Chain A
Amino acid sequence: MQALLDELPVILQAFWLTIRLTLASAVLALVFGTILAAMRVSPLPVLRGIGTVYVNTLRNTPLTLVIVFCGLGLGLVLDVSFSTSLSTNYLWLSIIGLSAYTAAFVCEALRAGINTVPVGQAEAARAIGLTFFQNLRLIVLPQALRTVIAPLGSILIALTKNTTIAAAIGVGEASLTMKTLFESHGDAVVPIFLGFAFGFLILTLPTGLLFTWLSRRLAVIR
């Protein structure tokens, strides 16, 4: 227990990194996932094909492999660089991996949402002369987004837990910090584990509650 209190600043810093990883990846994944969803429902078979291949590839690849590819492949071999600081660079590389992976799931969620929008909505939009993009942007996506708030919440919770995998390329978020603390406090493994478990509960439980509330609040009443 004492170890947990002594290391509290380190632990809080680790969780702050976890939160930043989650938020940055979530924003990028939402943007990229929306673009992918638009591609998958677009009139161009080529774009639909590219979207399908991307989603199926990323969803069937282990996230660890994606992140290792980003960190070692892009970072070390191809010298992709976002910052002169090595740790910031790996942070961004892991954010790229996390958001590229999560975008595939966001895309599928949005597509499921698009399927729930009644046909009449899109038909009416076409009838008043809206183009594909206007139709998607003004009529279909706003309704689709509101029906998939709850699934997007599940994706965000999964993303929060998935940020631990950034440990594979040495990003010092919560799980890697926990491992380091295990090594330095061999006699306090249980309290440290419970502390980190509690930290993840604090991050994921309110997210779940918030998104459940939001999904009720924003539900499209039909």
Chain B
Amino acid sequence: MSAPAVPSKRARVPAGGARVNVLYDAPGPRARRRNAVFTVLVILAAPAVLFLMAVKLNEKKQLDPALWTPFLRGDVWVNLILPGLLNTLSAAAVAALIAVPFGFVFGIGRLSGHAWIRLPAGAVVEFFRAIPLLVMIFAVMFGGNAILGLTVTPFTAVVIGLVLYNGSVLAEIVRAGIQSIPRGQSEAALAVGLRGGQVMRMILLPQAVTAMMPAIVAQLVVLLKDTALGFIVSFEDLLNAGARVLPSNFNNLIPSVIVIAIVYIVINLIVSAIAIWLEKRSRRNRRSTARPVEPPGAIVAPGSATGAPAAGVSLTD
């Protein structure tokens, strides 16, 4: 907690915010007037747009209180929405618990000194990253039945698909995390007589894990979002509750999809907040020589060599 502040790091964060303002001067009297006029116009336009939307919704009877009041009833939440939420969360949790070890095994495998481990691990990771998750889920559902004669439940298909795809992405994060450690570390460890496996276990992994934690958690947000694909294979998840169960009871598709979207956003913001917290913590941590790994979804512009602006863009606003 009380790590001494590094001046260069502190300076970087405000710089990221201030840079954008460089696009325009501090407004003078005329610019301030013009900005005020535009602000008023936008503020006036927003209710106008909202009003038009409301008119359209009203025309289709979507503002009828009967469509919205179900969300004020406890039994609707307990009987219809929470079971879906529980399924979504359990699919995400099971998939995450398998995908993280999968990622470590294949990420470390890709760095192995033995070609017969390195090449297959690389092939698996590249294959599952290149194929759309939905195609994988369909393949598991139908393939399990056709090849093995098993009845694959939607839950299983979704979890297997999520594990293969996100596990492969996590493998790349693990690889990047380990590679972000200066080579001198493993050279020194080899020089004092450690074996390859010992170097990985005692020197590289402990440092790499702190560097890749934020990226791993950010990927778990993606995993959580992707559970919604289960909707397409009739997995009874949160989206299913919002887009099939509730509308069939109350005929309120638009209100229920909006409410379900808010639930998803809140959950994802909570997990993202954990990622941001971990990122701040690992930036403070001086014991690791590794640089924080950018989440694969994050947009890292080449040239932002510090890694700071892009990381800020990816998660914080």
- Interface code B233-253, partner A: CB below 8 Å = 1, 0 otherwise? 000000100110000000001
Q: In the complex the two chains form, is A178's CB within 8 Å of B135's CB?
A: yes
Within 202-255 of B, Cβ neighbours of A (below 8 Å) are at 221, 225-229, 231-232, 239, 242-243, 253-254
Instruction: Report the bound CA distance from A77 to B268 in whole Å.
Output: 28
Q: Which of B31, B138, B302 contacts A179 (CB 8 A)?
A: B138
Q: In the complex the two chains form, is A43's CB within 8 Å of B299's CB?
A: no
B62 interface residue (CB < 8 Å to A): yes
Chain A residues near B269: list those with CB within 8 A: 56, 60
Q: In the complex the two chains form, is B146's CB within 8 Å of A112's CB?
A: no
A142 interface residue (CB < 8 Å to B): no
Chain B, interface size category, equals: 35 or more
Instruction: Report the bound CA distance from A77 to B57 in whole Å.
Output: 9
Instruction: Report the bound CA distance from A174 to B135 in whole Å.
Output: 9
Chain A residues near B303: list those with CB within 8 A: 116, 147, 220, 222
Chain B residues near A190: list those with CB within 8 A: 143, 146-147
By CB atoms of chain A within 10 A, which of B22, B227, B260, B272 has the most? B22
Q: In the complex the two chains form, is B317's CB within 8 Å of A201's CB?
A: no
A9 interface residue (CB < 8 Å to B): no
Q: Separation in Å of the B122 CB from the closest CB of chain A?
A: 14
Instruction: Report the bound CA distance from A151 to B232 in whole Å.
Output: 29
Chain B contact residues, majority secondary structure: helix
A30 interface residue (CB < 8 Å to B): no
Q: In the complex the two chains form, is A132's CB within 8 Å of B23's CB?
A: yes
- Interface code A108-137, partner B: CB below 8 Å = 1, 0 otherwise? 110111111001001100100000100110
Q: Which of A44, A64, A78, A109 contacts B229 (CB 8 A)?
A: A64
Q: In the complex the two chains form, is A132's CB within 8 Å of B24's CB?
A: yes
Query: Given contacts A47-B42, A69-B257, A78-B60, is CB(A162)–CB(B132) below 8 Å?
Result: yes
Closest A residue by C-beta to B165: A161
By CB atoms of chain A within 10 A, which of B135, B221, B300 has the most? B135
Q: In the complex the two chains form, is B299's CB within 8 Å of A105's CB?
A: yes
A24 interface residue (CB < 8 Å to B): no
A6 interface residue (CB < 8 Å to B): no
Chain B residues near A108: list those with CB within 8 A: 299, 313-314
Chain A contact residues, majority secondary structure: helix
- Interface code B87-118, partner A: CB below 8 Å = 1, 0 otherwise? 00000000000000000000000000000000
Within 38-89 of A, Cβ neighbours of B (below 8 Å) are at 41, 43-47, 50, 52, 55-57, 60-65, 68-69, 72-73, 76-79
Q: Which of A41, A123, A197 contacts B131 (CB 8 A)?
A: A197
Q: In the complex the two chains form, is A148's CB within 8 Å of B301's CB?
A: yes
Q: Which of A45, A123, A147, A197 contacts B301 (CB 8 A)?
A: A147
A93 interface residue (CB < 8 Å to B): no
Instruction: Report the bound CA distance from A87 to B19 in whole Å.
Output: 47
Q: In the complex the two chains form, is B24's CB within 8 Å of A135's CB?
A: yes
Chain B residues near A193: list those with CB within 8 A: 135, 139, 143
Q: In the complex the two chains form, is B302's CB within 8 Å of A136's CB?
A: no
A-B contact pairs, 21 of them (CB 8 A): A44-B42, A60-B269, A62-B228, A65-B257, A68-B257, A73-B253, A77-B253, A78-B57, A108-B299, A108-B314, A115-B304, A123-B22, A126-B22, A165-B232, A167-B232, A168-B231, A174-B135, A178-B139, A201-B130, A201-B131, A220-B303
Give the top 3 A-B pairs by smallest Cβ distance, nearest first.
A62-B228, A161-B132, A60-B268
Please list the residues of chain A having a beta carbon within 8 angstroms of any beta carbon in chain B.
41, 43-47, 50, 52, 55-57, 60-65, 68-69, 72-73, 76-79, 105, 108-109, 111-116, 119, 122-123, 126, 132, 135-136, 140, 147-148, 150-151, 155, 158, 161-162, 164-165, 167-168, 174-175, 178-179, 182-183, 186-187, 189-190, 193, 196-197, 200-201, 204-205, 215, 219-220, 222
